[in-house]
Amino acid sequence: MTTPSPTLVHEIRAASRQMVREFGFLDKTIAGTDLSGSGVHAIMEIGLHPGITAKDLSAKLKLEKSTISRLLKSLEARNEILQTRLEADGRSFGLSLTETGRETFAKIDKFGNDQALGALSRIGGARAETIASSMTAYAEALSTPTDDIRVPAPDFTIVEGYQTGMIGDIAAMHGRTHGHIVGMGPTFESVVAKAMAEFMPRVGNPVNNSWSVVESDEVIGSITIDGEDLGGKIAHLRWFILSERLRGKGLGKVLLAKALEHCDRHGFDEIHLWTLKGLEAARALYEKNGFVLADEYVGDQWGKAVTEQMFIRKRPA
Cβ–Cβ < 8 Å for 187, 302 = yes
| 133 shares a domain with 169 | no
Residues 54, 95, single domain; the answer is: yes
- One domain for residues 50 and 167: no
The answer to whether position 1 is within a domain reads no
217 within some domain:
yes
Pair (176, 288) in one structural domain: yes
Domain-terminating residue out of 121, 143, 165:
143
Q: How many CB atoms lie within 10 A of CB 90?
A: 8
**Residue 2, pLDDT score:** 56
Residue 152 lies in a domain: no
Angle subtended at Cα 56 by Cα 53 and Cα 62, rounded to the nearest 5 degrees: 135
149: in domain: no
Local mean pLDDT, 10-residue blocks, the chain (317 residues): 67 78 71 82 89 84 84 90 72 84 89 81 69 68 52 66 93 84 77 94 94 90 95 94 83 93 94 90 91 89 80 89
Identify whether residues 15 and 121 lie together within a single domain. yes
43 & 12 share domain? yes
38 and 162 both lie in a single domain: no
Phi, psi of 35 (to 5 degrees): -95, 155
Domain with residue 270: its CATH number is 3.40.630.30
Reported residue count of the chain is 317
| DSSP per residue, 27-84 | SSS-TTSSS-HHHHHHHHHHHHSTT-BHHHHHHHHT--HHHHHHHHHHHHHTT-EEEE
Answer with the one of 143, 165, 200 that is the final residue of a domain.
143
| 150 within some domain | no
Asked whether residue 126 falls in the same domain as residue 167, the answer is no
Please spell the DSSP secondary structure of 189-233, one letter per residue: HHHHHHHHHHHGGGTTSTT-EEEEEEETTEEEEEEEEESSTT-TT
pLDDT of 143 reads 61
Q: What pLDDT score does 137 carry? A: 66
Together in a domain, 191 and 138: no
What pLDDT was estimated at residue 153? 44
Number of domains in the chain: 2
Cβ proximity of 38 and 63 under 8 Å: yes
For residue 81, tell me if it sits in a domain: yes
- Phi, psi at residue 255, to the nearest 5°? -65, -45
Same-domain status, 307 and 205:
yes
Q: Are 313 and 291 in contact (CB under 8 A)?
A: yes
Picking from 143, 173, 204, the residue at the C-terminal end of a domain is: 143
Q: Kindly state whether residue 148 falls inside one of the protein's structural domains.
A: no
Same domain, 138 and 166: no
- First vs last C-alpha separation in the chain: 28
Same domain, 177 and 125: no
Give me the domain span that covers residue 277.
Answer: 157-314
Q: Is 151 a member of any domain?
A: no
| Helix pair 54-61, 37-48: axis angle to 10 deg | 120
CATH of the domain at 25: 1.10.10.10
